[in-house]
Amino acid sequence: MQPTSIVEGRPHSVLIADDHPMFRLALRYALAARNEQVNIVEAASHTDLGEAVMAGEFDLALLDLAMPGANGFSSLMHLRCERPELPVIVISSYEDPYTVGRARQFGAAAFVPKSATARDLWHVIEIVLAGGTWFPACNVDEGSADARTRRRFSSLTTQQLRVLLRVGECLLNKQIADELQLSENTVKVHINAILKKLQCSTRTQAAVLIRSLLSDSPNSPLQIRNVGAT
């Protein structure tokens, strides 16, 4: 399949989420240089991001992980929960294998370091808009405890992920039910399924697990091990 070029003239709607105004401006100009019909919405914080994804439809999101209100990979996870069909390109100043690997684990379609050129970004955008993915090369030990945990995590449904994120925020069942517009009994059913899939005996264990998975620190007990850049 040939990439859908952003210069073909078809309008695209792109969400740029980054707390640095100058970098958002640079991305805006880079996109507009390839397609004058591109519609761009900007978000400068995790709160802005949440409001934007609820208010509009997008073809693509360009996401910086480190924004006010975000905790590690929480903004990426929020996008994947609320708009699972939306391709997300993480654009980050952190280029280490840990960050690249976690971005891929949480459903990003691509990872582009902020040191990349505009031409590199255009190339990756075209790959993603064509339905592809792109990441710097990494080697992951799929037999490790971390890999097994990630596979259990990936078995959760979108609704279960939404509930788990609230469990990680230490919300009570009633608070989760109100926020997600579910019944308390439905929340309980989801939590029981989450505990079973993650092999946790208590919701506290599940909360610790999701917080460690979302952590942007390579010192997390669930960090990717045996990963090397090539």
pLDDT tens digits, 182-221 = 999 999 999 999 999 989 999 999 998 888 777 655 443 3
Cβ atoms of 101 and 140 within 8 Å: the answer is: yes
pLDDT at residue 147, as a whole number: 58
* Superfamily of domain 13-129 in the CATH hierarchy: Response regulator (3.40.50.2300)
The whole-number pLDDT of residue 211 equals 82
Residue 43, Cβ density class (10 Å: 0-12 exposed, 13-18 middle, ≥19 buried)? buried
> What contacts 149, CB < 8 A, 6 or more positions away?
198, 209, 213, 222
Task: Say what angle helices 21-32 and 118-129 make with each other, to 10 degrees.
Answer: 70
Quick one: pLDDT at residue 192? Answer: 96
Q: What is the pLDDT of residue 96?
A: 81
Tokens of 18: 């980054």
Residue 223's pLDDT is 32
Please report, for the chain, the start and end positions of each structural domain, with discontinuous segments joined by +. 13-129, 145-214
* Confidence (pTM): 0.76
Domain 145-214, CATH class in plain words: mainly alpha
Identify the pLDDT of residue 88. 96
Tokens read off for 87: 């391709």
What is the predicted pLDDT for the residue at 10? 58
Q: Under a CB-based contact definition with an 8 Å cutoff, are residues 14 and 60 in contact? A: yes
> What confidence score (pLDDT) does residue 221 get?
35
Residues of the chain with pLDDT under 70: 1-11, 138-150, 215-230
